[in-house]
Structure 1
Amino acid sequence: MVQNVCLGAGGKPLSGRSPLDAGCTQQRDLLPGERLPYHKHDQPSPDERADAPEGYQRHDSIPVPTAGEGIAIEHSFDFGAGEGRRFGAFDAGSDGGDLVILSAGVASIGATEDGGAGFQLFVGECRGTVDATALRHAWIVADLAASQPGTLQGETVARLKDLRAAQQSDCPDRYSAAYTNWRVIPFRYRAAPGQGSPVTLTTLLSEHYGGMNRANADHVERFYFTRELGGTRWERWQNVQGNQQASPERITQQAAWFAGTGRCSHADPPEGGATMVLIDCREWSHIVPASDPDGDAPGFFVKALRERGMAPPFLAAPDPR
């Protein structure tokens, strides 16, 4: 879940070097509070590379100490292309991130923020007041207890609810069901121009279906995590039958437009019966050196939540005493 750093003499992280560098012979997870020697950016469309040479979005995967969830993993959404946007500065209304909670063999996305719905908590089934435990079995990424013996491969039906800003105090009365599966696969990732050849990495792939049954799910969100880079790719697949928000014709048009952007390499569609088309994807395999030779300060999404007074108590910074 956490991106690795390449180590030099004395075990010190090497500035500007990533674990994908051919000369990186020793690496480990980025540590809480440690400065980032590099950033991960998405791949721009080939015809927009001149205007967005560093891509559109930065997606760092960093460990964040919290008061109630221990060490959570932040995966930032930092847009830096376009008028008024710059990497490293939180732009409210567009930037955000996902926060993965690790607990008792379960990895669960417990909070998110984007330019559409703003800051949300994801909670699993709970009663009374929302507390730290409610986030630990919500948007399931993987669950060791539900995996096949000796593997990291399994499936479950998650029951969860997204709580927006004015609804985050109390557990909800109703929950949505989401068929979820996960498995470990080899996957080939693109390299940015001048950064070597494509690379195949062992990948934890997690699929979150929009509904209890794969056969009639509205959509699928697919997440790719690697030991080297943490969050490395994301895809959104849509059922071609359409829904209340988009007709079949509109979905077909969107899929055709996205295919023409060339932003992501090929991936097979999700299985399960429903015909799905890819309508969005980001592949964060473009490595960008830190601005500071000593590494950039960690913290983006959760830091901004705390500064805006939006973080619930269990996502606050831990007591330093």
Structure 2
Amino acid sequence: MAWTWAWVAISMLLPVGAPAWADQPDDFIVQQVCVDGADRAVTDDPAHCGKRRKLRVGEVIPYRRVDAGNWQALYSYPVRGLDGEHRAMAEKVFGGNDTSGFYGDLGIRSGYDLLNVGPDYISGIRTSDPGGGDQIFWRNVNCERTDGWIMFPPGLERGQRGEARSTLKITPGPSTACPRMKLLFIAPDFTTWERPLEPIHYTSGKVLDTITSEHFAYGDPENPAHDNDSMEKFYFTREYGFSRWEAWETPAGCQKRAAKAGKPVADLCTPSPLTMCNGDNQATFFGKAYLRLDCRDSTYYVATADKPFNPLVNDAAPGDVFNRNLVTNGTIADGRKGWRAEGVGQRLDVARDPRTGNAALRIDCVDCSGAGVGQEIVVPPSRGATGLHWGASVESQGGAPVLAKLVLTLHPDGQPPQRIEHAVTVTGAWTSLDFDIPWRGGAEADTPATIELLVDGHADLMVDDLYVALLDKP
């Protein structure tokens, strides 16, 4: 496969202080949270706390991980596939201060890597980034998607290493329909992996039990005819899941790329600074010299108690993720797009948090009962779900209490509308409104629905991260 330089690759890390090996194969791709005596997630660093466990599907994350330049925030959380299989989403929010959801609000699109947990390998099946857009991986002409971009096998023990050869074809998303492919267009690739006996020292100063995976495009580096010039290296930890990514290239390959781009070699072929990622930035792989030209070491911890990250706001990987956000533009990254105004005499603008740059809708309404925002959505066939989880984040401006209602109205076919309404009083900083209802309807057909955030009387309110998602449990 041709290596996409702009792609922030599928990467993962392994958390610290872990036992010899995990009980489950996803222990190195789903990050952990610290918990209290009631098993509730708390704001602490799982690299240091005593009691911790893996994140659960739909659970908010009370911290974010960033790289040394605070350029990228990273989350590794579990998702359920449309086929019912367990997967992991490594989500990157470009602009490390931004506490909002998947696509970010800083004018730069964010990205993700979707990882499959198979019996033979943990493998990447889809990615998205600002340069390459949404990309879906296929392994062969039969449209099998697993074990193409191989990461490492489950059950890897300390001191073990290995390698595997595979094939890969990339097609643009979002459609997951089987494309027409010929063997001619399916490129070979080669992966090596290792779980070192000793934990790895990271730029953050943390020392973590780690699995590394090196992905060489185009065939076998041990073959003299092999013409690959690039490699991506991924690090996975038990505490953090996907933790670090590195891009390596041979000097010859980099010079060729610079000439093609019409740029000076020094602009593209200078090794990445050690302040971004520690360790060597020049190395030899299979007898060829390589330069480490880019990296993201996302093992720095930042608490987010004021506005925890909610994975259910994510609308990534349509067609692959069951519990994705059904609301369009739930993070307000695209301004007012998708949202209609309710009521009259109100001001509805997009405002930005001065601390983070995070965008949110501002509802400024004087004596305007019932004013707010709303959006029509569709709840797809339930596919075995037992509940709907829905909510929003709200913040009162100026300190005055605001009376508001979050309303979800379902219109099951042939049945009376089902209206669920929750009244809240917003008194200050960001407050998460999260609700569940049992839901087995729509097993065979789409169910039209509406989500609304309405205010009563005078209000100056910020609203963000609106979502409705199917879950296995109500």
- TM value normalised by structure 2: 0.55
Amino acid at match of 1:143: P
Give the match for residue 304 of structure 2.
290
Give the match for residue 50 of structure 1.
none
- TM-superposed CA distance for 1:253, in Å, is 4.4
Matched, 1:200 2:207: yes
- For the structure 1 residues 171 and 93, does the alpha-carbon distance in structure 2 shift closer, same or farther, using more than 3 Å as the test? farther
- For the structure 1 residues 4 and 270, does the alpha-carbon distance in structure 2 shift closer, same or farther, using more than 3 Å as the test? farther
Give the match for residue 162 of structure 1.
170
User: Whose helix proportion is higher, 1 or 2?
Assistant: 1
Amino acid at match of 2:38: G
- Between the aligned partners of 1:138 and 1:290, the Cα distance in structure 2 is 36
- How do 1:1-321 residues align onto structure 2 when only pairs under 5 Å count? 1-14=29-42, 16-21=43-48, 24-44=49-69, 55-68=70-83, 70-80=85-95, 86-89=98-101, 90-91=103-104, 94-127=109-142, 130=143, 134-143=144-153, 152-165=160-173, 168-169=176-177, 170-173=179-182, 174-185=185-196, 186-191=199-204, 198-214=205-221, 216-242=227-253, 244-247=256-259, 250=264, 253-256=267-270, 258-259=272-273, 262-267=275-280, 269=283, 271-292=285-306, 295-299=308-312, 303-305=314-316, 311-312=318-319, 314-317=320-323, 319=383, 320-321=385-386
Q: Secondary structure at the match of 1:62?
A: strand
| 1:220–1:270 Cα contact (<8 Å) kept | no
Question: Mind listing any 5+ residue stretches in structure 1 that lack a counterpart?
Answer: 45-54, 192-197
Please provide the CA RMSD for this pair.
2.8
Amino acid at match of 2:44: R
- Between the aligned partners of 2:129 and 2:108, the Cα distance in structure 1 is 7
- For the structure 1 residues 251 and 97, does the alpha-carbon distance in structure 2 shift closer, same or farther, using more than 3 Å as the test? farther
Give the match for residue 51 of structure 1.
none
- TM value normalised by structure 1: 0.79
| 1:158–1:177 Cα contact (<8 Å) kept | yes
- TM-superposed CA distance for 1:217, in Å, is 2.1
- For the structure 1 residues 291 and 80, does the alpha-carbon distance in structure 2 shift closer, same or farther, using more than 3 Å as the test? farther
User: Whose strand proportion is higher, 1 or 2?
Assistant: 2
- TM-superposed CA distance for 1:212, in Å, is 1.1
| 2:230–2:253 Cα contact (<8 Å) kept | no
- TM-superposed CA distance for 1:250, in Å, is 4.8
Identity of aligned residues (%): 24
Deviations 1:257-286 (A, max 9, x none): 632x72111146352112100110000011
**Larger of the two Rg values belongs to structure:** 2
- TM-superposed CA distance for 1:40, in Å, is 0.8
Q: What is the number of residues matched between the two proteins?
A: 283
Question: Mind listing any 5+ residue stretches in structure 2 that lack a counterpart?
Answer: 1-28, 324-381, 387-474
- TM-superposed CA distance for 1:17, in Å, is 0.5
Higher relative contact order (CA 8 A, sep 6+): 1
Q: Secondary structure at the match of 1:246?
A: helix
Q: Secondary structure at the match of 1:122?
A: strand
- Between the aligned partners of 1:2 and 1:154, the Cα distance in structure 2 is 22
Q: Secondary structure at the match of 1:266?
A: coil
Deviations 1:7-52 (A, max 9, x none): 22232222x201123xx111111111111121111111xxxxxxxx
